[in-house]
Structure 1
C-alpha cells in the first residue's frame, strides 16, 4: 500500500471511529428532552427521569476500568464491535420498553457498551496512527464526542416533535447496527500485544500493575480528574447561572450552550493539530492558563451578559483546546497497556464530573458562583505544574510496524 492509499485508508477509518464516538456521546444526553414523554408512558413521576441519565453515566464510569485490560489482551476490534452490538441492542430495546425499570436496565446496558467502545477507540488511535499525526486524529474523535452532546438535546426534541420519543431510540439503534457492520470491515485486525492467559483476576492484576508501573500514569489520571472538574464544576449549574443572573429561559440557555459547545468542538480540532506541530505538553500548558482565566472571568461577569457570553465561549474553547492533547499524552505513557490506561482515564473523567458536581452544590449554597469559579480555575491551573514537572512524555517518533497511518 503506497503512502496516498495509507492516508486515505486512515482518513476513512478515522471518519467512522468519529461516528462511533458521536453515537456514544449522543446517547448519553439524548434522553434529556424526552424524559416527560417517557415518564408519562411508564406512569412514573418526572422527578425520577434523571435516573435514566445517571444509569448510563454510572455504568460507564464503573465498568470502563474492567474492559481496558480485556481490550489490551483480547484486541481493540473485538471490543469495539462487541460494544457497538450491545449499544445498538440496548438503545433499540429502550424504544420498545413500557416499564421504567426495564428502561433503567437498558440505559445501564448502553452505558456499559460506551465503557467498552470509547477507551478501545482511544487506544486504537494510539496503536494505528503515527505519533506526528496522532493529535489531529484524537482531536477529531474528541470533537465528535463533544459535538454529539451539544446537538443531542435538540435532536431528541426534533425526533419527538415529528414522531414519538420511541423514534429517537429506534433510529439510533438501527443506525448503530449498520455502523457496526461497516466497522467490521474498516477496523484492521491487529493481534493484541498481550494474549489472554491465566485467570481473569490475575489478568486484571497484571494489567493494572503494568499500567501503574509508569508513575506518570498516576499524575496523568490526576490531571484528567482536575481538568474535568475545571469544566463540570461550573457547567453543572450553567442553567442556574443564567437564570439567576440574567433571567434567561430554558430555550435561551440552550442556544448559549450550543454556541459554547461548538467552541469546544473547534478547540478540540485546533488543539489536536497544534499538538502535532508544537507538542502535546505545550498545548496543554497554554490551554490550562486560558481555561483558568476563562472560567474565572465567567464567574465574575454576573452583571454583564455580553461579557459573560464571551467568557463562556472562550472558556469552552480553551477546555477543548487542551482536551485532545491531554488524551493523546496519556495514551502514550504506557503503550503496552494502552487500553487499560485509557479506561482508567475514562473513569477519572467521571469521578471528576461527580466530584465537581457535588462540591459545586455545596459551594453554591454557601458561597455563590464566584467560589465555584475559583474552584474550577484552581483545578484547571493545577494541571500546569503536573504536566511540566511530574509527567514524563514517552516520545516515540519512530513508527512501529502496527502503526499503519
Structure 2
C-alpha cells in the first residue's frame, strides 16, 4: 500500500517550496562562489591554475559519485529526515572549507561539500515531485530553480564583498556566510518540511544493487538519462568559457563579467518562474520546445562574438542566461514525472549523477576543442557552439519520448 503525500494548504505549500529553494540556494552558492575566488586562492595558497581547476572539478565529480552511492539508501528513509541530515553534513563540509589551512585540506573539504551538495540537489527535486501535483509542478520547479539565479545576482557578489572587505577572513568569509545562512534555513526546514514516507511502503525484490539496476535499466528511465545528458552537453560546453572568451576575444574588462552575471541572474530570477507557469498552462513539452529552440540563437551568437558595443554584449548575455538555464525548468518537470513515487528518489539520484558527470564531461570536451592563439585569443569556440546546438537538437528529439509514470506506451508525454 502506498501512502499518499500529505495535503498542504496553499500557504504551507508555498512556505515549503521557499524552504527547499533556500536549501538549493545555499548548495548552489557553495559551488559557484569558488569561481570568482580563484585569484585570491591562487595567491594565498600558492597554487597554480591546474590546482585551482582541481578544486572546481572535485566538487562536480564527487557529486556525481555520491549520487550513485545515494541510490543504495535513498528509498529507505523519510525524505524529510534524510534531507535535513544531509544538510547538516553539507554545512560541516562547508565549514571545513572555511577552516582549511592548506591546498590538500581545502581540496578534501571541497570534495566532501560536493558529495553532500550533489545529493541535496536530487533530494530537493524529489521532494518537490512528491509534494506538488504534476499539473502545478512546472511553477514549483521554476521557484526552486530560481535559486540558481538568486545565487548569481545576490550570493556571488555578496561573497566577493565579504572576501574583499573582511581582511581578517579573506577568502574564508564567503564559506562562513554560507554556513550561517544554512543554519537559519535548517531551523526553518526542521519546522516546515513534511514527513514523506510513502515510497518506503513498496515491497522490493532482490538486494539493493539489483533494485538500483532495475531502476537504471528501465527503458523509460534510460530515455530520461539520455535527455539530461544532452541538456548538459548543450549548455556546459559553452558556459564555463564565456568569461574567458569575453575578456580575450571580445575585449571586455574583467569587471564587466560581474555586470553580465548580475543582469543575467536578475532577469532569470523572474523569467524562470514565468517559464514554469507557462509550462503548467500550455504543457511542459510544448514550452520546452519553444525555449530550447530559442536558446540556440544566443548560444551561436555568444560563441561567434567579435569586439562590439558593450550594451549589445549585455543584451545577448542576458538573453543567454534567460533561455539556456530557463529550458531546464520544463525539462526537470518532465524528468521528475518519469519514475513512480516508490523509486523516484533512486531515479532522481541517478539523474543528479548524470547531470554532474556530463557537466564535467562537457567542460572537458570543450577544453579539448578550444585552443589559445599566441596572442591569447580563444580559437574554435565557434565549434563548441555548434556542438552545443547539436546536443540541444538531440534533446529536442528525445523529449517527446519521455512518458509520465503510469501512462500507457502511447499515452501522454509530460
TM-score range, shorter chain: 0.7 to 0.9
Asked if 2 retains the 8 angstrom alpha-carbon contact of 1:92 and 1:174, the reply is no
Asked if 1 retains the 8 angstrom alpha-carbon contact of 2:152 and 2:262, the reply is no
Q: What's the offset of the Cα at 1:5? A: 7.0
Whole-angstrom CA distance in 2 between matches of 1:395 and 1:314: 37
**Which residue is 1:401 aligned to?**
none
**Which residue is 1:399 aligned to?**
none
Please give the secondary structure, in 2, of the residue aligned with 1:236.
helix
CA deviations over 1:257-289 (Å, ceiling 9, x no partner): 332233433332122111111111111111111
1:345 aligns with 2:351: yes
**Mean CA deviation greater in 288-297 or 362-371:** 362-371
**Which residue is 1:393 aligned to?**
404
**Which residue is 1:324 aligned to?**
329
Q: How does 1:3-402 map to 2 (within 5 A)?
A: 6-38=9-41, 41-45=44-48, 48-163=51-166, 164=169, 165-194=171-200, 202-213=207-218, 215-305=219-309, 306-335=311-340, 336-365=342-371, 368-388=380-400, 390-394=401-405
TM-score (norm 1): 0.88
Over 3 Å counting, the alpha-carbon distance change for 1:124 and 1:85 in structure 2 is same
Asked if 1 retains the 8 angstrom alpha-carbon contact of 2:216 and 2:350, the reply is no
Supply the RMSD in Å over aligned alpha carbons.
Answer: 2.7
Asked if 2 retains the 8 angstrom alpha-carbon contact of 1:291 and 1:316, the reply is no
Over 3 Å counting, the alpha-carbon distance change for 1:44 and 1:375 in structure 2 is closer
Please give the secondary structure, in 2, of the residue aligned with 1:284.
helix
Please give the secondary structure, in 1, of the residue aligned with 2:10.
helix
Over 3 Å counting, the alpha-carbon distance change for 1:54 and 1:151 in structure 2 is farther
Whole-angstrom CA distance in 2 between matches of 1:136 and 1:113: 26
Whole-angstrom CA distance in 1 between matches of 2:87 and 2:64: 17
Whole-angstrom CA distance in 2 between matches of 1:285 and 1:352: 21
Please give the secondary structure, in 1, of the residue aligned with 2:195.
coil
Asked if 2 retains the 8 angstrom alpha-carbon contact of 1:264 and 1:319, the reply is no
Q: What's the offset of the Cα at 1:177? A: 2.4
Please give the secondary structure, in 1, of the residue aligned with 2:237.
helix
CA deviations over 1:322-370 (Å, ceiling 9, x no partner): 2111111111111221112212222222222222222222322396222
Over 3 Å counting, the alpha-carbon distance change for 1:168 and 1:230 in structure 2 is same
Whole-angstrom CA distance in 2 between matches of 1:395 and 1:197: 18
Whole-angstrom CA distance in 2 between matches of 1:385 and 1:39: 43
Asked if 2 retains the 8 angstrom alpha-carbon contact of 1:223 and 1:386, the reply is yes
Structure 1 residue ranges without an equivalent (≥5) = 397-405
Q: What's the offset of the Cα at 1:64? A: 1.2
Give the number of aligned pairs: 391
Whole-angstrom CA distance in 2 between matches of 1:10 and 1:141: 12
The structure with the largest helix share of the pair is 1
TM-score (norm 2): 0.86
Asked if 2 retains the 8 angstrom alpha-carbon contact of 1:69 and 1:337, the reply is no
Please give the secondary structure, in 2, of the residue aligned with 1:294.
helix
CA deviations over 1:182-237 (Å, ceiling 9, x no partner): 212211112242369999x9213203413532x22212221211112221212121
